[in-house]
Amino acid sequence: MGRDLREYTKNTKARLLIGFIALIFLVGDGLILLFYGKEAGIFGLVCMLGALVPVLLVIIFLVIADKVVKKNQ
């Protein structure tokens, strides 16, 4: 029964990233909502989602590029 440390590292990094994004959205937008009200909270959520779009596009591009390179090797 061996350990796959690369798989463990991959899973850990994914969980940390998901936790970080959840923390930013929940705590960040929660504080905006608490201090400034419902309208500002909704606008803060829209702004955070808008800022997440370019990041997701870059990640998608890198995943596709990685698959193409691995396929051609």
**pLDDT tens string 33-52:** 999 999 999 999 999 999 99
pLDDT value at position 2? 65
The domain spans of the chain are 5-72
Residues of the chain with pLDDT under 50: 1
Could you tell me the pTM of the whole model? Answer: 0.69
In one-letter notation, the amino acid at residue 33 is L
Q: Where are the alpha helices (DSSP H) in 1-73?
A: 5-23, 29-36, 38-72
